[in-house]
Amino acid sequence: MKKIINTNEAPAAIGPYSQGATFADLVFSSGQLPLVPETMEFVEGGITEQSRQSLENLKAVLEEGGAGIDTVIKTTCFLSDMENFAAFNAVYSDVFGTENAPARSCVEAARLPKDALVEVEAIAYRK
Residues forming the active site: 106
If you ran DSSP here, which 8-state letter would residue 32 be given? B
Q: How many Å apart are CA 127 and CA 119, to the nearest integer?
A: 24
Cβ count within 10 A of residue 34:
26
Query: How many Cβ atoms sit within 10 Å of the Cβ of residue 93?
Result: 11
